[in-house]
Amino acid sequence: MEESVGVPYEVRWARKNEWAPAMNMIWRTFLEFDGKDYTEEGIRNFFDFITDTELYDAFVRGEYQMMVALRSGRVIGAGSLRNRNHLSLLFVDGAYHHMGVGSAILIRLCDYLEREMGERYMSLRAAPYAVEFYHKLGFRTVKPEEEFSGIRVTTMIKML
């Protein structure tokens, strides 16, 4: 059990029944913190991505791995990997920001990539809201901010 700022939570691989609660938390958190930085097209594209049945099917097959943070059985954070070493989503419920939840998920994912998968780095595309968070955790910017289909991102990498 992890604990930061007096809030105990568990970080582990997500189970099938936690997919929908995780995606609901991600959507709410996206709208609250990231949505203001995106166009309507970007918001729609993000929603389409997280509700795509092919993404869920990849998760069920183990091809889209997701780790969750749980508090009293409730999903309060989630982070996922695609293409072996690319962080696809990392979101923490707004009520648990600045309590170490996102850092704990990210550290566990990096450890997994390095120790179990033999990867040498993790890549990601950070939303404007998250760039400084990733810098604090050792990621460096490798491309300036770009926009794809209304979604603004900064490409970053961390050597493991």
Sequence-distant (6+) residues with CB within 8 A of 132 are: none
Angle ∠(99,101,105) on CA atoms, nearest 5: 155
Put residue 31 in one of left, alpha, beta given phi > 0 → left and psi -120 to 50 → alpha: alpha
Question: In the numeric block, which tokens belong to residue 97?
Answer: 């920001």
pLDDT in tens, 92-144: 999 999 999 999 999 999 999 999 999 999 999 999 999 999 999 999 999 99
Kindly report the pTM of this predicted structure: 0.93
* CATH number listed for the domain at residues 2-159: 3.40.630.30
Listing DSSP states for 82-102 in one string gives ETTTEEEEEEE-GGGTTTTHH
pLDDT in tens, 70-99: 999 999 999 999 999 999 999 999 999 999
Amino acid identity for residue 42 in this structure: G
pLDDT over threshold 90, residue 25: yes
pLDDT over threshold 60, residue 3: no
